[in-house]
Structure 1
Amino acid sequence: MTSKRRPVTYTTDGVVVRTSNLGEADRIITLITPVHGIVRGVAKAARKPGSKVGGHLDLLKHVSVSVRETRTLHGLSQASTLNGFRGLRDDLDRFSRASYISEMSERFSVENGANQPLFRLLLDTLESLEVTTNPEMIIHFFEMRLLQLSGFSPELSRCVETGVDLEPANHLYSADRGGLVNSDARPVGESALLPASLNTIKLLRFLSRTDIAQAGVMKAGEDENRQLSRILRAQIHHVLDRGLRSEAFMDEVRTRPSHNDEPKASSGSSSGN
């Protein structure tokens, strides 16, 4: 006769990247954690007035929480806020960008898969987004570093078609091949090549070797920012084999004349829904 395995209970810190309502008072929470990867669980009675956990387990908060493992959704309790990122939650533009990076982090994470570098990158980027005057480059830094940490670092020195070192010039980028293509070596049948100017290539190489503080002070022109966005997003889409829902939200907010509106992020909303 086999005995039942006793549930495992542990405490972890994590970033809330998704929430949804369950029943009349409960809430399903998705966290990214440094040791346990993605953790999905139920916070009982989290939506009831006076709940001791409901105010902590909200989108984009860095929290400490007790997790009781089950075969399905885990049980979450005893939560406390380590960083509420108020500066992100009170600014719609910053909130939309934070939603974008949190969805990317979730897509590149797995359950029970420790990834402390990704977790640290997520926290560092949220902290930078809260105060930066250059959010566009912070996003590009995150995209590049996430690709590197996941083993999909773009090839930026050699032509991925010929293997020859690239001369300083305007070239093309192939997400399918994962890197730059010499402008004179366009692959036969390749239609999804993206333009990569010399300045854009320099910025890509800079992002691949710098830290987040230096990225935050690097300025880029409108054309270079547009090319960076297209190249890095195309590479991420290729790796994930899909786009990200939060992209449309971020792009819509970015094109508005003012970013001073307060984000309407209720406790039952989700960064990825």
Structure 2
Amino acid sequence: MLNKWEGIVLRSIPYGETHKIVTLFTKEAGKLTAMARGAKKPASRLAAITQTFTHGSFLIRTGRGMGTLDQGEQIDSMRHIREDLEATAYASYIVELIDRLTEDNKQGHGLYGLLYDALHAINEQYDPEAISLFVEWKMLPVAGIHPILHQCANCGAAEGEFAFSFKEIGFLCHRCFHMDRYLVRLSPTQLKLIRTFYTVPISSIGNLTLKMTTKQFMKKIVRTIYDEQVGLRLKSRSFLDQLESTPELLPKKEKPVVEGD
């Protein structure tokens, strides 16, 4: 069967001397893998369309086993992501996270939109670190983690002072702080940001600017959840950790004005 699907390239690996195996996340059919014959040849019509991050329209022949990519038309090459080291690093983390947490031939409600919004926001030069945080928080349910963020995980209270509990995987109000001796106290702004990261679509955010300390705080919480509850180890995260610990590797950019914390 021949299908025309819109999608984004998550991964492209060499196969033999001239072919590629391409993993796509499509709008219509979810994640799938297809053989792109001859795509390693520079003159191939499939060479450009099979590059990681590419957003395009793909003509895929499916049947038993792996599909075959017959044709493709580029919608957006994600040029900024390809040319900017920081953008490449965070985009690579996002696509690997989504790739590792999803199965082939399963659509996944809202995942294509999340991937689309995240990569296009980075390509439009929004803060790639902040965008990756949105994706990390929103992918928790896909990893089987459903944090309780709308009320106290113990008593159900919706008002009061709150902290984050890794034991309860969610918020505890001040009446229940005794439930977890290692909880992390939250300011009202931090509380609001966590809820925003988890529930608000990236397309609705606008150009959100955050202080470095705020991003580090939010990252520490969500990555601790992944480390302790999911046990996910990503190659792209190791590179990100190196990049974040040695910011001098990145070219200097004009810093946006921070609107608040």
Unmatched tracts of structure 1, length 5 or more: 1-7, 262-273
Report the TM-score, using the length of structure 2 for normalisation: 0.82
SS of 1:147 mapped into structure 2? coil
User: 1:51: how far off?
Assistant: 0.6
SS in 1 for 2:165: strand
Structure 2 unaligned residues grouped into runs of 5+: 253-261
Q: Are 2:137 and 1:144 equivalent residues in the alignment? A: yes
For 1:56, the equivalent position in structure 2 comes to 49
In structure 2, the partner of 1:31 is 24
Instruction: Tell me whether 1:163 sits opposite 2:155 in the alignment.
Output: yes
d(CA) in 1 for partners of 2:74, 2:118: 18
Query: Which residue identity lines up with residue 89 of structure 1 in the other structure?
Result: R
The offset of 1:170, in angstroms, is 5.4
Report the CA distance shift for 1:150/1:19 in structure 2 as closer, same or farther (over 3 A): same
The 10-residue stretch of structure 1 (64-73 or 74-83) with the greater mean CA deviation from structure 2: 64-73
In structure 2, the partner of 1:249 is 239
The 1-side partners of 2:60 and 2:145 are apart by: 32
Against the structure 1 CA distance between its residues 89 and 201, is the aligned structure 2 distance closer, same or farther, given a 3 Å change threshold? same
1:71 aligns with: 64
Whole-angstrom distance in 2 between the partners of 1:227 and 1:196: 11
Look up the SS of the partner of 2:247 in the other structure. Answer: coil
**More RCO (CA 8 Å, sep 6+):** 1
- Cα distance between partner residues in 1 of 2:231 and 2:89: 22
Shift of 1:127: 0.8
Residue 195 of structure 1: CA displacement? Answer: 2.3
What residue number does 2:213 align with?
Answer: 223
Q: Which stretch shows the higher mean deviation, 224-233 or 82-91?
A: 224-233
Aligned pair 1:122/2:115, yes or no? yes
1:132 alignment partner in structure 2: 125
SS in 2 for 1:126: helix
Among 147, 150, 159, which residue is 1:154 paired with?
147
SS in 1 for 2:110: helix
Kindly provide the amino acid, as one letter, of the partner of residue 253 in structure 1: L
Deviating more after overlay: 101-110 vs 239-248:
239-248
Q: TM-score, normalised by structure 1?
A: 0.79
What is aligned with 1:197? 186
Q: Is the 8 A contact 2:30 2:108 kept in 1?
A: yes
Match of 2:76 among 83, 86, 92: 83
Rounded Cα–Cα distance in structure 2 between residues aligned with 1:78 and 1:213: 30
How many residues align? The count is 248
| Distance in structure 2 (CA, Å) of the matches to 1:77 and 1:239 | 40
Q: Is the 8 A contact 1:25 1:44 kept in 2?
A: yes
Q: Distance in 2 between matches of 1:221 and 1:120?
A: 27
1:230 shift after superposition: 1.8
Distance in 2 separating the partners of 1:260 and 1:72: 45
CA RMSD of aligned residues (A): 2.7
Tell me if structure 2 keeps the 8 A contact 1:27–1:43: yes
Amino acid corresponding to residue 180 of structure 1 in structure 2 = F
The aligned counterpart of 2:105 is: 112
1:186 aligns with 2:200: no
For residue 194 of structure 1, report the CA deviation from its aligned partner.
5.6
- 2:134 and 2:17 map into 1 onto residues whose CA distance is 41
For 2:211 and 2:221, the matched residues in 1 are separated by: 15
- How far apart, in 1, do the equivalents of 2:44 and 2:235 lie? 30
Structure 2 match to 1:271: none
> Is contact 2:86–2:128 with CA below 8 Å preserved after alignment?
no
Q: CA deviation at 1:120?
A: 1.3
The question of whether the paired residues in 2 share the 8 Å contact of 1:62 and 1:83 is answered with: yes
- Indicate if the aligned counterparts of 1:157 and 1:166 stay in contact, CA closer than 8 A: yes
Q: Aligned-pair distance for 1:148?
A: 5.5
Over 3 Å counting, the alpha-carbon distance change for 1:97 and 1:48 in structure 2 is: same
Match of 1:15 in 2: 8
